Amino acid sequence: MSYRYGERVALNGVSLTVMPGDVFALLGPNGAGKSTLIRTLCGRLRPTSGSVLIDGHNPARSRVARGRIGLVPQDIALYPYMTVAENLSVFGRLAGIRGAQLVTMVDHAITATGLEERVDQRVETLSGGYKRRANIASALLHAPKLLVLDEPTVGVDLDARNSINAVLRSLSEGGMSVLITTHDLDQAASVASNVGIIVQGQIVETGAPDELVAERYGGAQEMVLLLAELADPGVAAILTNSGFKSLEEGRLWRGRLSSDGPGIDALTSQLVSAGARVRETRVRQPGLDSLYADLTGESEVA
């Protein structure tokens, strides 16, 4: 599937499938095409070529398809002065649900997102994490088959992030398909059954996070090295020649130690002789963040 804004190609031959029970995390730098992809899924944009099917229906043409999607926007879209329960009733009515079914669906959404203790609280008094959960609940009222979340954990603390992950996991265990965009690689690694890495409108890698990392790196270890100040050209040359890449403007470097090159100690002493002050070295297993950095050239998801 492709999409162009006029001459600008935003999605170029993207193909992905999210099965019931999957949590699919879409990762990519700013401008990669994530929001455009979400807009085509929700039927707001029609692909320039190719197609989108939601449970067999085309969302650009069919209300049935749009009814199978629950979209959780990045910004909280709730009425701050109303309670959680009042908000959910309003959103349920807007989705065309009435009467006994509305009561059932509101209850169901509250349970699914763990909001039982907060139903009578005004939204403006909720913590950021609970606001997000209420936002998710409001997207569940029409019982969608696919839940799409744009950056569900921006600006929430670790506890809230863990509880949102738990909500997403339990929804997927109930058979829902979940698609998230996230800049949070830890979240993607812990919650996603599949990730897709999108760069300049193309999905360059897709699969289960553990498998992707294992395929690419095998058992190789990686070294992260933090300098006290920016690497000068001599220091940078040593690191680059050893296959290291700079992450944080020349202070943080990451690379894999090859068995035939210098070990950590040799490398560190070379750097010290070149005048570098090495503040910290760490050896670790490469993770999804390593894969992301290698594929996009960026150390963090935008």
- The residues of the shown chain that bind Mg ion, judged by CB under 5 A, are 34-35
Phi, psi of 279 (to 5 degrees): -85, -35
Nearest-approach distance from CB 220 to ligand ADP, in angstroms = 30
Alpha carbon of residue 218 to chain centroid = 24
Binds 69, which of Mg ion, ligand ADP, none (CB < 5 to 8 A, cut-off by type)?
Answer: none
**Single-letter residue type at 172:** S
Contact 149, 69 (CB under 8 A): no
What is the Cα–Cα distance from 156 to 74, expressed in whole angstroms?
12
Residue, CB closest to Mg ion: 35
Binds 92, which of ligand ADP, Mg ion, none (CB < 5 to 8 A, cut-off by type)?
Answer: none
Contact 243, 235 (CB under 8 A): no
Binds 10, which of Mg ion, ligand ADP, none (CB < 5 to 8 A, cut-off by type)?
Answer: ligand ADP
Q: Which positions touch ligand ADP (CB under 6 A)? A: 5, 8, 10, 28, 30-36
Cβ distance to Mg ion smaller for residue 204 or 302 = 302
Binds 31, which of Mg ion, ligand ADP, none (CB < 5 to 8 A, cut-off by type)?
Answer: ligand ADP
Cβ distance to ligand ADP smaller for residue 20 or 31 = 31
Nearest-approach distance from CB 16 to ligand ADP, in angstroms = 14
Binds 185, which of ligand ADP, Mg ion, none (CB < 5 to 8 A, cut-off by type)?
Answer: none
Cβ distance to Mg ion smaller for residue 31 or 275 = 31
Nearest-approach distance from CB 194 to ligand ADP, in angstroms = 18
Nearest-approach distance from CB 18 to Mg ion, in angstroms = 18
Cβ distance to Mg ion smaller for residue 25 or 227 = 25
Nearest-approach distance from CB 60 to ligand ADP, in angstroms = 16
What is the Cα–Cα distance from 22 to 168, expressed in whole angstroms?
10
Nearest-approach distance from CB 181 to Mg ion, in angstroms = 7
What is the Cα–Cα distance from 148 to 81, expressed in whole angstroms?
26
Instruction: Kindly write down the DSSP assignment for every residue of 265-276, as one continuous string.
Output: HHHHHHHHHTT-
Q: Which two tokens stand for residue 10?
A: 């935003």
Nearest-approach distance from CB 197 to ligand ADP, in angstroms = 11
3-state secondary structure of 257: coil
Binds 194, which of ligand ADP, Mg ion, none (CB < 5 to 8 A, cut-off by type)?
Answer: none
Binds 43, which of Mg ion, ligand ADP, none (CB < 5 to 8 A, cut-off by type)?
Answer: none
Alpha carbon of residue 154 to chain centroid = 10
Report the residue count for the chain: 302
Cβ distance to ligand ADP smaller for residue 50 or 275 = 50
Q: What is the DSSP letter of 218?
A: T
Alpha carbon of residue 151 to chain centroid = 6
Cβ distance to ligand ADP smaller for residue 10 or 176 = 10
Other CB atoms within 10 A of residue 126 CB = 20
Nearest-approach distance from CB 74 to ligand ADP, in angstroms = 10
Cβ distance to ligand ADP smaller for residue 33 or 70 = 33
Cβ distance to ligand ADP smaller for residue 107 or 298 = 298
Alpha carbon of residue 70 to chain centroid = 17
Q: Which two tokens stand for residue 32?
A: 């990669």
**Would you put residue 284 in left (φ > 0), alpha (ψ -120 to 50) or beta?**
beta
Q: Which two tokens stand for residue 187?
A: 């979240």
